[in-house]
């Protein structure tokens, strides 16, 4: 059969899709270029947000004339709906041992752990992925060595709570040091971190290891302590702000050369009971921290979570208004931060090209558009930035 995989959700799901593709290929199936050309549609789903669930079932209806299978992070009730409709659910039981069929040779998602023990009150991951399970460090390093030999230029370590990784005596900072010491010219980054596990050791390791990119994604979720307690996040706003201060100081100390550390975060608006004053505390934090990027979402109750027992008290129109307020503030901040890139030279990894332009990302994870100039995917170049917007940069090879 010819198959096509539709992926919803986070980078872990995209990594899972590469493993699903490998399993299908091993069974003798071939990849189709489009969904319409496929005999089998595999929907790699996500129950983390209700909007994603709606999209999944929308795709099920769209491809009724084909064979359909569903995989991914799904809550029990969502699985029951599929089972009742005679749609099979699939998840690889040999998850860590299954070699993925990678989408490209230059950038590799590499899960080092899966699952989560934190039970944030709004999150379904512990119910869909299970408890934390770390992959042996020896196999991680061996796979990275193989990837580098095949031309990989970017290694992205994945985990729902990646900085709680542990394999016997090897914690996450020690794993990073080991990978950083491997020979070769490559970038090393990781997602997603939890502030409660962002240790001083990890901060210092990030700053000192030159192959780790000067970029960190550190979800705050809310700028109000009462909401953070209701979310079961196990840190305060003051603690988070202190982490950001330490990160910036350590990078400035150990890596003083431009560019400075870039920071992105996640924020949920409209959590049950969030008052206007509490939301304003979030806006105040955004102004103070000056994030390079914010990935924000409107709260939706997820069955089985502690927050689902609370009244979803914020109207959708108010959630939308709050999301728009964050976006407007982010646009102002990102515009100012990106302007500092104008006239500067910076490392860029080329990720795609067309006949006129090359597209890539900087070492600080900002999108860049350049004239093609015979650039090819996987090139790491020195680019000079000539203009900027809130959401990206333009430049040319230096």
Q: Could you give the C-alpha distances from 348 to 150, 359, 393, in angstroms and in order? A: 20, 9, 11
How far from chain centre, in Å, is Cα 113?
Answer: 14
Axis-axis angle for helices 76-84, 50-62 (nearest 10): 10
Smallest CA-to-CA distance from 298 within 265, 276, 323, 280 is with 323
pLDDT score for 237? 98
> Residue 375: left if φ>0, alpha if ψ -120 to 50, beta else—which one?
beta
Give me 69's structure tokens: 């299978």
If you write DSSP's letter for every residue of 240-262 in order, what string do you get?
HHHHHHHHHHHHHHH--SSSPPE
Is the distance from CB of 110 to CB of 143 less than 8 angstroms? Answer: yes
Give me 142's structure tokens: 């061996």
Q: How far apart are CA 58 and CA 182, in angstroms?
A: 45
Residue 313 has what DSSP assignment?
-
**Across the strands, what pairs with 167?**
170
The fold adopted by the segment(s) 345-397 is OB fold (Dihydrolipoamide Acetyltransferase, E2P) (2.40.50)
pTM higher than 0.75, yes or no? yes
pLDDT score for 322? 98
147 CB-near residues (< 8 Å, 6+ apart): 108, 110, 155
pLDDT score for 12? 85
Domain boundaries, the chain: 2-90, 96-338, 345-397
| CATH class of the domain whose range is 96-338 | alpha beta
pLDDT score for 92? 64
pLDDT score for 101? 87
CATH code for the part of the protein at 2-90: 3.40.50.12160
pLDDT tens, N- to C-terminus, the chain (398 residues): 999 999 888 888 888 899 889 889 988 999 999 999 999 999 888 877 777 788 888 888 888 888 998 888 888 888 787 777 778 877 666 667 778 888 888 999 999 999 999 999 999 899 888 899 999 999 999 999 999 999 999 999 999 999 999 999 999 999 999 999 999 999 999 999 999 999 999 999 999 999 999 999 999 999 999 999 999 999 999 999 999 999 999 999 999 999 999 999 999 999 999 999 999 999 999 999 999 999 999 999 988 899 999 999 999 999 999 999 999 999 999 999 999 999 999 999 999 999 899 999 999 999 999 998 789 999 999 999 999 999 999 999 98
pLDDT score for 58? 87
């Amino acid at each position: 059969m010819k198959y096509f995989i539709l992926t919803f959700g986070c980078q872990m799901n995209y990594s899972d899709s590469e493993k699903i593709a490998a399993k299908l290929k091993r069974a003798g199936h071939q990849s189709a270029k489009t969904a319409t050309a496929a005999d089998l549609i595999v929907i790699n789903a996500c129950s983390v947000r209700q909007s994603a669930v709606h999209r999944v079932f929308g795709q099920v209806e769209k491809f009724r004339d084909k064979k359909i299978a569903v995989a991914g992070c799904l809550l029990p009730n969502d699985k029951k709906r599929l089972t009742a409709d005679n749609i099979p659910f699939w998840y690889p039981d040999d998850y860590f041992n299954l070699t993925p069929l990678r989408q490209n040779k230059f950038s590799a998602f590499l899960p080092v752990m899966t699952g989560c023990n934190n039970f944030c009150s709004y999150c379904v991951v512990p119910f869909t992925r299970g408890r934390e399970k770390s992959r042996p460090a020896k196999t991680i390093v061996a796979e990275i060595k193989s990837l580098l030999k095949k031309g990989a230029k970017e290694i992205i370590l994945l985990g729902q709570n990646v900085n709680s990784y542990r394999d016997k005596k090897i914690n996450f900072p020690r794993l990073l040091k080991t990978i950083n010491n491997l020979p070769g010219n490559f970038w090393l980054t990781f997602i997603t971190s939890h502030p409660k596990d962002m240790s001083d050791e990890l901060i210092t390791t990030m700053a000192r290891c030159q192959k780790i990119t000067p970029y960190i994604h550190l979800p705050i979720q809310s700028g109000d302590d009462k909401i953070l307690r209701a979310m079961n996040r196990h840190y305060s706003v003051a603690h988070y702000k202190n982490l950001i201060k330490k990160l910036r100081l350590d990078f400035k100390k150990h890596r003083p050369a431009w560019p400075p550390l870039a920071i992105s975060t996640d924020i949920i608006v409209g959590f049950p009971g969030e008052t206007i004053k509490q939301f304003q505390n979030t806006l105040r934090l955004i102004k103070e921290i000056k994030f390079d990027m914010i990935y924000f979402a409107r709260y939706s109750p997820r069955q089985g979570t502690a927050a689902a027992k609370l009244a979803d008290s914020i109207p959708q129109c108010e959630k939308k208004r709050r999301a728009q307020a964050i976006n407007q503030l982010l646009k102002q901040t990102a515009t100012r931060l990106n302007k500092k890139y104008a006239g500067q030279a910076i490392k860029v990894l080329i990720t795609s090209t067309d006949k006129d332009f090359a597209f890539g990302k900087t070492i600080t994870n900002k999108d860049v558009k350049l004239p093609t100039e015979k650039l090819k995917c996987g090139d790491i170049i020195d680019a000079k930035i000539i203009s900027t917007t809130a959401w990206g940069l333009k430049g040319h090879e230096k």
